[in-house]
Chain A
Amino acid sequence: MTEFHRTKARDAHERVYRLLLRLHARSFRDEFGDAMVEFFRDRLAAARTTGGQRALLRLWGRSLGDLLRHAPASRLEALRAAYTDRRDRRDAARRSPRIHHARREDRMIASILQDLRYALRALRRTPAFSATVLVTLALGIGANVAIFSVVHGVLLKRLPYEDPDRIVHVAHQEPGTLVSEPEFVDYRRDAKAIERLAAYRSATVSLTGTNVEPERITLATVSEGFFDILGARPLLGRPFIAEEEQQRGPRVAILSYGLWQRRFGGDSAVIGRDVVLQGTPRTVVGVMPARFAFPSPDIALWLPMRLNYDTLWTRNNHYLEMIGRLAPGMTVTQASLELNGMARRFMTDFPEVYSPDQPLVAVVTPLPDLVLARTRPYLTAMFGAVAFVLLIACVNVANLLLARGETRRRELAIRTAMGASRARVVRQVLTESVVFALGGGILGLGIALGGVRAVRALAPADLPRVEEITVAPLVLAFALAVTLGTGLLFGVVPALRGAREDAAESLKEGGKTSSGQARGLGRARRALVVAELALAVVTLAGAGLMIRSLWKLQALDLGFRTERLLTMRVAPPEAQYTGGRAAPFYETLVERVRAIPGVQGAAAVYELPVADGNSMWSILVNGAPMGTVANSPAAMPQTVSPGYFEVMGITVLQGRGFTAADRAGAPLTVVINETMAREHWPDRSPLGGTIKMLNEQSQWATVVGVVRDVRSNGFLGRIPPTMYFPHAQAGQSAYYVPSAMSLAIRTRGEPEGIIPAVRRIIRELEPAAPISRIRTMDQVVAESVASRRFTTQLLAGFAALALLLAGVGLYGVVSYAVTQRRFEIGVRLALGASQRQVIGLVLREGLRTAAIGAVTGLAGAIAVTRLMRSLFVDVQPADPITLASVVGILVVVALVASLVPARRASAVDPMRALRAE
């Protein structure tokens, strides 16, 4: 894969260079162009082997410099040759039109290149000024290019499937959410708008083998046509065939590229070998390419799905997802209409399954939207923020150029007086800004390369397609466009001002600014700074609201204590730990873990809070007679070991938690959460009430306790009614006895310290049980907000950058004003004004500008943050606390930015200031 990228990138570099060679005269190009490309290619290869990105940047810097120096020269030579040539042929009957053409082109390019050389000379003459401008631009452009790389890689690049826009994902609205087997079979048979439909589901299983650690992997079970719909072919071997999807067909598997590399060292002879899943060997028939990662990047292998048409599982058991390819000419809307028509038919045909209160609604989503829906608003917000940073940078640079334009008035006046046309002056000034922009662009590209690397390293795990984030050719084109656009944007105001200059007047004044002009200029610059400050306020407000949202999330009561809580998933072989054998294994395990020094308590749980969620099951309450799915309530079952509530710190509000007495054979017990208590026993104590899962096997269990609500499945989801069953009784009351459970271990000291001891105990008890997802609860919580935290940090960083740039801009304007008003300040001081009064004068001026910026910015912030509403948690877009803090920060920055010039003003020596005029 890297090889492929290399070749492509190499072509792109070369293409650009070849294009730039056109700057040279045609005659020179014809003679040496190919050789120069060859030369460049050699240098490129050398740069790649030695120094990577930095060497590449250096190569480009040198090559551009070389072009700039020698292309004008070659043009001038060609020009001279053409003149000589023409003189030689003066008597010839006709002049070749081609020579004429070449001459005009040469003349134009020579003059443009001359402008470039002026610009470079100007740049070198004022290094401090140039550095300020370049750094400002580099930061703005760099941030933009980096974020655009992310946007391009994640959002814009096509998904690596055939015709991805024609692929749809199909599921149901809550409460069903997913699709049951009979529903899938019906949809697949009858839907016309969808050409092909396949079902899939993910599961976590143990992968074992001789001489290797057992590991937990995620796999996808997929029905016939799955790979075809995505347009994916295996890298090695073949997709599943019909025979393998039959009951009792051969047991086969297709490996992911990652698993193939990891377990088989990328051996191409892997086809035909076995992998052992949950103790059952399966023959490898194929390996998928590295880029294929559906339904999720962590899928390690794919198995064929076997539907048993004789005993299709109940319609009520929604556990499948579907993907399909739209039939030719059909749209997502048409598909959605058709499937929903079918769903309504299901509801009338099977009234015992579907309740009219909770209708079955099919949701058809184009695949790209499904993959990117969650990420898009975050990236859009970031892109908006960097665009603002760039605008601020532009305004800042425009301001700097305006200020410098004043000192250069004499030079431009002389040029005009010597016969340069206005257009020529405008072009020269614009060329200068474009040179600045290009310089900033090249530096910015360096920053972007670093930025992209950082994003790839630091990106949260749930950012899709991280591996696609590169500085691609399109990104380079974007960088170039942004750079040139930037150059024109900040150059146009100073250029027009330069051209308006009356040469004679300027020369008469000795190139000094008259007071009227100074006032006009001051106004223009102040307007620019106000715009800058306003943009900074908007960025700051957006970031502030995100920070507030993050705080609110972190302050959210989870319902349990997260500190010093170690968690891990243990999965003993399912075949050996079915039914009654699972609970004793965990009892022994928990008991031995409790004995480890430093452990306060330990328990086992099926679904870990925050990290996992579970599906809802239909139940019966208080001895109600057996009903149908349609008219039964639902709740989330959870299986725990005794002592779970105590270890987690989940408060028992009524009754009791579980003890060792709640064993198999003892009276069946259940503990429910507050939400469930409210739902079913709104006005009396639920203790003594009874619950039964809606199926023949399960028996009634008595409610013995009520516990506080706990966040499950992320932070923001609604807390479902939850019922806790003791693990030992799960076979009788909870329908399903899990063999894979999570351990929750509360420690006295650092939780990480006891990991080896726990591992050892599990190894001793069951060597074939893989241990996975070893994390502290704090990590679990942090991971669940990682994406949001990442975005928030970046936004805060950009806001800080915006504020810094705006502060620098304000500083520039205030200190310029101080210089302009030296005489006035001198007079004031001479007339007895105190230094304190002078400082106050300047500070007031800075604050006034900041205040106008703040007011404008607040209006903008209220408008813009409204668009970000979907990203906020529990915070209004016009949150007064955030907006007030933003204004506060701005005032502080304005004070700091004005204080330095203010102190300088107060130090003015009145005598000198007055004499200087």
Chain B
Amino acid sequence: MSPSRPPAPQDLLPLRAVDFLILLMLAPGERHGYGIMQDVAAHTEGRLELEAGSLYRTIRRLSRQHLLEESSRRPVADRDDDRRRYYRLTPLGRRVVAAEAARLRALVRLAEAARVLVPEPARQGAP
């Protein structure tokens, strides 16, 4: 059922908000499920609290789309359990997140141009 060849990033856009957030949380490095959920909750001020079922179903979907994969590496060896699974972005996943972010930025620019949104001054040191 998995496609034989990975698709191009543009074919997968736009991403669902949850997918985008999960992939984004993996951008700095590997995370395990609970960590992803905590990051998402923190970055959305607790508005989006993923539960196990929704998180792992999304993870399964994203991994079938080759956007993320399980990592065999254990960042902190001693306090870890075998059962804890870590995930990381695939190169494709990284390109897709970037493409989605760019798409969103374009939309924000559009909104600013339409004076729907006041342009935010670029902060010092912000990426």
Contacts and interface: CB of A to CB of B under 8 A. Distances in A.
Tell whether A pairs with B: yes
B117 to A, nearest CB: 33
A26 interface: no
A36 B54 contact: no
Interface stretch (A64-72, A194-202, A840-848): A64-72
A73 B51 CA distance: 15
Contact of A66 (B32, B52, B59, B85): B52
Interface string A841-861: 000000000000000000000
A39 B1 contact: no
A34 B34 CA distance: 13
Interface-central residue, A34, A42, A67, A71, by most chain B CB under 10 Å: A42
Contact of B33 (A24, A28, A39): A39
Nearest to A84: B1
B34 A43 contact: yes
A38 B53 contact: no
A43 B33 CA distance: 11
A66 B51 contact: yes
Contact of B83 (A38, A63, A73): A38
B78 interface: no
18 contacts: A28-B56, A32-B59, A32-B60, A35-B33, A35-B56, A36-B52, A38-B81, A38-B83, A38-B84, A39-B33, A39-B37, A39-B52, A39-B55, A66-B51, A66-B52, A66-B54, A70-B57, A84-B1
* 8 cross-chain pairs, A with B, having the tightest CB-CB distances, nearest first: A70-B53, A66-B51, A36-B52, A42-B34, A32-B56, A34-B83, A66-B53, A39-B52
B33 A38 contact: yes
B64 to A, nearest CB: 11
Given A65-B51, A66-B52, A69-B54, 8 more contacts: A24-B53, A28-B56, A38-B83, A39-B56, A62-B51, A66-B51, A71-B53, A74-B57
Contacts of B59: 32
A556 interface: no
A36 B55 CA distance: 9
A42 B35 CA distance: 10
Nearest to A77: B57
Contacts of A37: 83
Contact of B49 (A34, A36, A62): A62
Contact of B34 (A38, A70, A81): A38
Nearest to A40: B52
Interface in A30-65: 31-32, 34-40, 42-43, 62-63, 65
Nearest to A65: B51
Interface in B25-52: 32-34, 37, 49, 51-52
Contacts of B85: 35
A65 B53 CA distance: 10
Contacts of B57: 28, 70, 73-74
Contacts of A69: 53-54
Describe B's contact surface by its main secondary structure: helix
Nearest to A45: B34
Kindly state the interface size class of chain B when it binds its partner: 10 to 19
B83 A35 contact: yes
Interface string A696-710: 000000000000000
A62 B53 CA distance: 11
A31 B60 contact: yes
Kindly state the interface size class of chain A when it binds its partner: 20 to 34
A70 B84 contact: no
B104 to A, nearest CB: 27
A39 B54 contact: no
Nearest to A64: B51
Contacts of B83: 34-35, 37-38
Nearest to B49: A62
A488 B49 CA distance: 34
A40 B85 CA distance: 13
Nearest to B56: A32
B54 A35 contact: no
Nearest to A74: B57
B93 to A, nearest CB: 19
Contacts of A66: 51-54
Contacts of B52: 36, 39-40, 63, 66
Interface string B52-78: 111111011000000000000000000
A39 B81 CA distance: 12
Nearest to B51: A66
Interface string A63-93: 1011101110110000001001000000000
A66 B55 CA distance: 10
Nearest to A42: B34
Contacts of A74: 53, 57
Given A28-B60, A70-B54, A35 B84 contact: yes
A62 B54 CA distance: 11
B56 A36 contact: yes
A62 B57 CA distance: 16
Interface in B1-37: 1, 32-34, 37
A69 B81 CA distance: 28
B53 A67 contact: yes
B30 to A, nearest CB: 14
B83 to A, nearest CB: 4
A35 B59 CA distance: 12
B121 to A, nearest CB: 37
Interface-central residue, A38, A62, A65, A74, by most chain B CB under 10 Å: A38
Interface string A638-670: 000000000000000000000000000000000
A298 B69 CA distance: 62
A24 B54 CA distance: 12
A506 B89 CA distance: 58
B65 to A, nearest CB: 14
Contacts of B56: 28, 32, 35-36, 39
A753 B32 CA distance: 64
A31 B54 CA distance: 14
A303 B52 CA distance: 57
Nearest to B82: A34
Contacts of A81: 1
A390 B84 CA distance: 44
Contacts of B60: 28, 31-32
A24 B37 CA distance: 20
Contacts of A32: 56, 59-60
Contacts of A31: 60
Interface in A347-363: none
A71 B51 CA distance: 12
Contacts of B51: 62-63, 65-66, 70
Contacts of A67: 53
A81 B56 CA distance: 18
A34 B33 CA distance: 11
Contacts of A43: 34
Nearest to B57: A70
Interface in B71-127: 81, 83-85
B46 to A, nearest CB: 12
Contacts of B49: 62
Nearest to B87: A35
Nearest to A37: B83
A43 B36 CA distance: 12
Contacts of A24: 53
A36 B34 contact: no
A534 B70 CA distance: 64
A71 B53 CA distance: 7
B87 to A, nearest CB: 10
Contacts of B32: 35, 38
B38 to A, nearest CB: 9
Contacts of A73: 57
Contacts of A34: 83
A593 B73 CA distance: 81
Nearest to B33: A39
A854 to B, nearest CB: 51
Nearest to B85: A35
A43 B55 CA distance: 13
A65 B51 CA distance: 9
Nearest to B63: A31
